[in-house]
Structure 1
């Protein structure tokens, strides 16, 4: 009976292991470009079950990928790189043109409407555990904004 006791003990031990934070990414999109345009932005909504941070993003379509924040100061809009984006537990963080966003710089080619752009996001939880998230962001028309669930998005 000892092997059965060991199995039961092992199962009980595993059931007490805390689950890793779950981070979900929704409505990921990239603004399409015109030929020769050197950069574009990627946008999405990120929700984490635990406090965490978006540390970085990567994509094979650009030589440089940075996380930026746009903000209005003294009636002037500025855009600066940031070290991370806070991801408060249970709150959806919008990665959008007017706030935090991902810049794809030195594009290797044109991003055309309908293209699927691969992105790799690196997030870190409050305990310092890092997680890599693979995302496919659909390229939307140059004049497109995030649809935020309205009737104008993704109707083809």
Structure 2
């Protein structure tokens, strides 16, 4: 074998291995979606996002055909002590060798204008878009039985007084 053949084989092997390595940088664990009531026109998805890379990454978008609109949201308290759900267009930072929770009462993926009723056991296909890792497809089971405290809080779709 010539040096050129060995070099080309090495380049080809690295090119094929690199996407698998990149795909493993972002790992999604414990995803689930829910609606607050059976006939809701909105819903949300929650999960833990782990970054196994050496650099911070940014979750900048989410896409799904389950609803007319999909946004990254969070809950924040305003000056009057009222909790509000807000769209976060810049997304969420996933720290290098760290994790970020999308949880009820906190950061989450919001589905607005659901195209269908979400039933317990259904699966929602979502594509999470990261600045560095690119597109990460996730199959998210609908879990309408999970208790509100799992994932750190509760979900609501409007303003409410903080208890």
TM-score, structure 1 as length reference: 0.78
Check whether the contact 1:33–1:112 (CA below 8 A) recurs between aligned residues. no
Report if the CA contact (8 A) 2:75-2:85 is conserved: yes
Q: From the two aligned structures, give the one with the greater strand fraction.
A: 1
CA distance in structure 2 between the aligned counterparts of 1:59 and 1:15, rounded to whole angstroms: 33
Which one of 22, 28, 38 corresponds to residue 20 of structure 1? 22
| Structure 2 counterpart SS, 1:140 | coil
Q: Which residue of 2 aligns with 1:151?
A: none
What's the TM-score, normalizing by structure 2?
Answer: 0.75
Deviation at 1:133, TM superposition (A): 1.0
Q: 1:79 aligns with which of 76, 85, 89?
A: 85
1:62-107 CA-to-partner distances (Å, cap 9, x unmatched) read: 0000001112344221211012111111111001122211110000
Greater Cα shift, 113-122 or 73-82: 73-82
> Secondary structure, in 3 states, of the residue corresponding to 1:141?
coil
Residue 132 of structure 1: aligned partner: 135
Which residue in 2 is equivalent to 1:152? none
Where do 5+ consecutive residues of structure 1 fail to align? 149-156
1:5 aligns with: 3
Unpaired segments ≥5 residues, structure 2: 152-163
Q: SS at the partner of 2:127? A: strand
The 4+ residue runs of structure 1 with deviation greater than 4 A are 11-19
Report how many residues are paired.
Answer: 142
Alpha carbon RMSD of aligned pairs, Å?
Answer: 2.5
- Distance, in Å, in 1 between the alignment partners of 2:69 and 2:149 is 23
